[in-house]
Chains A and B, each alone.
Chain A
């Protein structure tokens, strides 16, 4: 399968650290890994590329002992080994930083780290070791802080330090930069390069091709559970890498050049909202106008007030001042969700399963839930018109390419990307005049993401106002006409996309645009220094 790549420099002469030989993993009917081969050498940063569902996660979970392969061998430094559980993997020298962190929110940093270390670890000496390792690699950490209080960038540092304390020979990183500011990502790359120079191999999973080109010497590309290619990413272009991943040219997003903006359809004026729990974010004096015909993107690192902002606009939380939120010329601050929908607004929350859709409900019933108030055909004097909902579900399925194994399945049986297409399609199908969407393509593969983004732009060009909240900067740039940045509950003024450089966004994400930047938050201050 693998073609002989261009001879590459760096680690190619290094001894082989680990080899996966013809690994297969079957989940019921599905073959998640089909005779996968992978070779990692000491001291190399090796990229594992592929779309969602390509089998990357399955493969690394097998390497980390969290899953057991159906067939195939793992050869570690020349010996075939059996990795029965994560503890075995750690003893061998495999460390893993998870995409959705495997941290315990209610425990301290030191407790979180202790849980991953061998049983005989001296817990009293641990805080000192944490501090010394975190200093050595430039990853500042307070061992006594509670995880729930920490921003996501710092949480990732905990995971990394936890791995480093085990002195790993192979560090697996699953989508590490998806939650970081560009500056934090730069810091991470420095750490990784330093580790590699000390001989630690790094298996780097990402779908951000420019990062892979920047730091990786080798790349293995997977598609549909198989390895389809192996190459030196530095010799490729992003387009050629994307082609290998998707197996076809990725649909390029087109935006009609002329934007005819009309009236403001979303207006936020001095929007204030107190935090609703100890770990919530308070929204402070948010001002924003989104005009008919444009897409405004709100960038920001996770948990800086995005969900609170979404809740305030959608009506999941109501605000004191009626005029603070104005949709289509109507002050709606105290209105619930359905009255806002009736005005012509549509909302897609971040969490598709459980929030955007009821997991155990069929898709047609999920259509019913967000649309009964706006579609007279769905409800006749309180009686549900199931047939009409099923028709809508069919239409959404066809128009937005939602793939399902049988007709009208339960929401939970769809893959993440397909469910997202359904949830977005359900709202777009209404032809709303205002669309607010939080994390439109989180965890969605490139093909589906392109489809969703294109649909959002097309909607705006028909005269709707579209507000996209996303942590993915590439996405923000792809869809937005204007960009604002949210940081600790404050929103920067929205500026045209062509004047918002990545550096500027990064600075704003790190809190440089806030009115009172407090120096107390260690994580933010660190990002600002970088």
Chain B
């Protein structure tokens, strides 16, 4: 048990940023917008979260700052792709490049500074239960938020009218417009939600995962989040499975390497990717479900003919 607990804790820590970024992108894509700038929004969230925490001394203010930083990036993306109708793929890539550069500039002063870690939320009584309490119920607020978001997004998408409108806009924007829904408004909100979640994911990296600022510290996690959304066929619960599976295998292979299993380290490093692909391909076998959940208007610009 003593060996298992830290492993489980690191799995949660490794999975949470992926889950946060991916659940936001899931909503964005469900509305029909493909934002490839997740990595860029994440890293700006990470640097802003660290900077505000360092200046104010409050990691909670840092979390809020990272969220708003992600939203600011998303707003820029929304303005370019939704109003000016630029190509979504190119704009998303540009957003990533911009985010990496901008964060490097903003973060220069903070390199090497010790960070403040987001505290664990101690729930009296529950957090002291052996194992369950010490692993699952002794987490920081962002872990709880990420899990609550999955449940909330599931309920929102499939049980509420607003969620239905998002799915409708992503499925057929022409029809949604013909019925009188504001396609641009819906997409703006979805893009902003995606930005907020990506920002939070970045904040998690610089406030929990490794509480310091290192240039390029997102290290491709934004791209993995993007891939998870597609592999999870835009379903929130599958996304949860995918994110935790990826997190688990990447932590376990690390421990296996340390324990000296005689496999080449390159192969071990590739394991999380392989495992995630295999499992998600298996659960995506049902073509009808995949098709019913794929936003048909994904990446297609919309201009009302009014």
- Cβ-defined contact, B292 with A148, below 8 A: yes
- Cβ-defined contact, A68 with B306, below 8 A: yes
CA distance A102 to B306 in the complex (A): 17
- Cβ-defined contact, A102 with B178, below 8 A: yes
Q: Per a CB cutoff under 8 Å, which of A67, A86, A104, A123 touches B180?
A: A86
* Nearest CB in chain A: distance from B301 CB, A: 14
- Cβ-defined contact, B287 with A104, below 8 A: no
Chain A positions 96-151 with a Cβ under 8 Å from a chain B Cβ = 98, 101-107, 111, 114-116, 119, 123, 146, 148
Q: Per a CB cutoff under 8 Å, which of B161, B171, B179, B291 touches A107?
A: B171
Q: Per a CB cutoff under 8 Å, which of B179, B291, B293 touches A116?
A: B179
Contacts of B293 in A (CB 8 A): 106
- Cβ-defined contact, B291 with A106, below 8 A: yes
Stretch at the interface among B9-17, B141-149, B162-170, B205-213: B162-170
Contacts of A98 in B (CB 8 A): 178
> Number of residue pairs across A and B with beta carbons under 8 Å?
65
CA distance A101 to B171 in the complex (A): 13
- Cβ-defined contact, A103 with B175, below 8 A: yes
- Cβ-defined contact, B167 with A106, below 8 A: yes
Chain A positions 266-288 with a Cβ under 8 Å from a chain B Cβ = 277-279
A87 at interface, CB cutoff 8 A:
yes
A85 at interface, CB cutoff 8 A:
yes
Q: Per a CB cutoff under 8 Å, which of A66, A86, A115 touches B165?
A: A115
- Cβ-defined contact, B306 with A67, below 8 A: yes
- Cβ-defined contact, B164 with A115, below 8 A: yes
Decide yes or no: A105 and B171 within 8 Å by CB, A111-B164, A114-B161 being known contacts: yes
Contacts of B175 in A (CB 8 A): 101-104
Residue of A nearest to B159 (CB): A123
Number of interface residues of A (CB under 8 A): 27
B192-218, CB under 8 A of A: which get 1 and which 0? Answer: 000000000000000000000000000
Chain B positions 124-162 with a Cβ under 8 Å from a chain A Cβ = 161
Mostly, the A contact residues are loop
CA distance A119 to B179 in the complex (A): 13
* Nearest CB in chain A: distance from B116 CB, A: 45
CA distance A183 to B167 in the complex (A): 35
A65 at interface, CB cutoff 8 A:
yes
Decide yes or no: A86 and B168 within 8 Å by CB, A67-B306, A146-B292 being known contacts: no
B284 at interface, CB cutoff 8 A:
no
Residue of B nearest to A146 (CB): B292
Q: Per a CB cutoff under 8 Å, which of B180, B291, B292, B306 touches A87?
A: B180
Q: Per a CB cutoff under 8 Å, which of A68, A104, A116 touches B171?
A: A104
CA distance A265 to B176 in the complex (A): 47
Chain A positions 226-281 with a Cβ under 8 Å from a chain B Cβ = 277-279
Contacts of A86 in B (CB 8 A): 178-180
Residue of B nearest to A65 (CB): B180
Contacts of B181 in A (CB 8 A): 115
- Cβ-defined contact, B291 with A148, below 8 A: yes
- Cβ-defined contact, A119 with B161, below 8 A: yes
The 10 closest A-B pairs by CB, nearest first: A86-B180, A102-B175, A87-B180, A104-B171, A102-B178, A106-B171, A85-B180, A106-B292, A278-B288, A104-B168
Apart from A106-B296, A278-B287, A278-B288, what 5 extra A-B contacts exist at CB < 8 Å?
A67-B305, A106-B293, A111-B164, A119-B161, A277-B291
